[in-house]
Amino acid sequence: MGEAAWRVVVRDGVTKLSVRNVAAEAGIAAGSLRYLFPTQEALRAYVLDLVRQRVTDRISGMSTQQPLRRAVEEYFSQLLPLDTERRVEMEVFLSVGVLALTDPALRPAYERAHHDLREGCRQMLALLATDPDYSALDPDSETARTHAFIDGLALHLLRQPLDESTTWATDELARHLDSLR
């Protein structure tokens, strides 16, 4: 059900995220969808929180049996729209997220996602700091900057079509992690 809403957003844009369009995309009657989401705001909030949920689920399912630096690099990669799945998530999150600027009902979902991401960054930096190479790294004081860098990188990746090369982004990520050493 949420995926149908995602498809609408990605294909037609946030402005077309309506009860009717989502219902049509999901193949059910509009009146039926309103049983699940009585108001449009409920629909938007659900869509937004579904992204957060998906991202955290995918991340928590990652294996960390790798060299430390490599594991951290892969973790941060999971926050970038490098394949279709993450691209869709990012587009939806950004599109609906900007609505949270003016719609207080969406703030909690957006804030929670932001908070989860920040904590994830902090934890990964803390993990990285256990590497002898990174003994000079102070995770707490580096979290905000790395978080901003990751989000900005994700933003810039959305500019380009999915089939174009994204090695520049992973290169920048690697360079950033190098600079923390």
Partner DNA sequence: CCGTTTCTAATACGACTGTGCTACGAAGTT
Partner DNA sequence: AACTTCGTAGCACAGTCGTATTAGAAACGG
Task: Summarize as ranges the residues that interact with DNA (CB under 7 A).
Answer: 16-21, 28-32, 34-36, 38-41
179 binds, among a second copy, DNA, none (CB under 5 to 8 A by kind): a second copy
Q: How many helices (H) and strands (E) does the chain have?
A: 9, 0
Task: Identify whether the C-beta of residue 135 lies closer than 8 Å to the C-beta of residue 129.
Answer: yes
Q: How far is CA 52 from CA 42, 49, 66, 180, in A?
A: 16, 5, 25, 27
Taking CB under 8 A as the rule, which mask of x and - marks residues 111-130 in contact with a second copy? x--x----------------
Q: What angle do CA 88, 147, 126 make, to 5 degrees?
A: 120
Tokens of 176: 């950033």
Q: What distance in Å separates the CA atoms of residue 35 and residue 26, rounded to the nearest whole number?
A: 14
Task: Single out the segment in contact with a second copy by CB under 8 A; choices: 11-19, 24-32, 56-64, 129-137.
Answer: 11-19
Name which of residues 12 to 51 contact a second copy (CB under 8 A): 12-15
Task: Single out the segment in contact with a second copy by CB under 8 A; choices: 25-33, 66-74, 124-132, 171-179.
Answer: 171-179
Binding site for a second copy (CB under 8 A): 10-15, 91, 94-95, 98-99, 101-103, 110-111, 114, 141, 144-145, 147-153, 155-156, 158-159, 168, 172, 175-176, 179
